[in-house]
Amino acid sequence: MSMIDDIEKVLFSQQELQRKVNELGEQITRDYAGKEPIFVGVLKGCFVFMADLMRAVNLPCQIDFMAVSSYGKGTTSSGNVQINKDLSYDIAGRDVIIVEDILDSGVTLNYLVGYLNNRNPRSIKIVTLFDKPARRKAPIKADYFGYEVPDEFIVGYGLDYAEKYRNLPYIGVLKPEIYA
């Protein structure tokens, strides 16, 4: 059995994703002209998106990462956010851009924004590749997003199901029997 036999359908191809990520990078480049933002990626799901995004940004910048967990092996948020890895840099006075793979209930980002705000950055904005607004539980909005997606669990391009499928180069939906 190969990994791609588990995919029911492809939602966004590699080419579509690349074009969208380039657009987001250009938007950020324009909006932050003259500034030096720090991108804070939320591991692990962000890593593919962030690698492409930062190469589409033509600005001096830094990157840092946080690791949080709110999901176990399932497909719904536990509502419980735990910090597994904190920042390595001081963000006081900095323009912070949080990089997320997907904004779902918003519980994770709501917690993170509060947490990072306590460190007195100059600004905090959120960029997410995917947004599932129908599932929002916390009062969080993305400043930049790639695609709105329906309430379907998606994998690939960094996003996992039970820690698998992050290495798919496109975004897909799994066959129902995989979740069973």
Residues with a catalytic annotation lie at 104
**Closest to Mg ion by CB, 57 or 101:** 101
* Residue 154 near ligand IMP by CB under 6 A: yes
Question: Concatenated DSSP letters for 51-91?
Answer: HHHHHT--S--EEEEEEEE---SSSS--S--EEEE--SS--
Neighbouring C-beta atoms of residue 147, cutoff 10 Å? 17
Amino acid at 150: P
Rounded to a whole number of angstroms, the CA Rg of the chain reads: 16
* x/- map, 43-62, Mg ion, by CB under 5 A: --x-----------------
Going by DSSP bridges, is the β-strand pair 38-43/171-174 parallel, antiparallel, or unpaired?
Answer: unpaired
Distance of CA 166 to the CA centre of its chain: 13
Of 110-139, which residues contact ligand IMP (CB under 6 A)?
A: none
Under 8 Å between Cβ of 54 and 61? yes
* x/- map, 47-76, ligand IMP, by CB under 6 A: -----------------------xx-----
Report the residue from 108, 126, 131, 145 that binds ligand IMP according to the rule CB under 6 A.
108
* x/- map, 26-45, Mg ion, by CB under 5 A: -------------------x
* Residue 40 near ligand IMP by CB under 6 A: no
Amino acid at 177: E
**Closest to Mg ion by CB, 45 or 156:** 45
Q: What is the dihedral of CA 65, 166, 154, 128, to 10 degrees?
A: 20
* Residue 100 near ligand IMP by CB under 6 A: yes
Binding site residues, ligand IMP, CB under 6 A: 45, 70-71, 77, 100-108, 153-155, 159
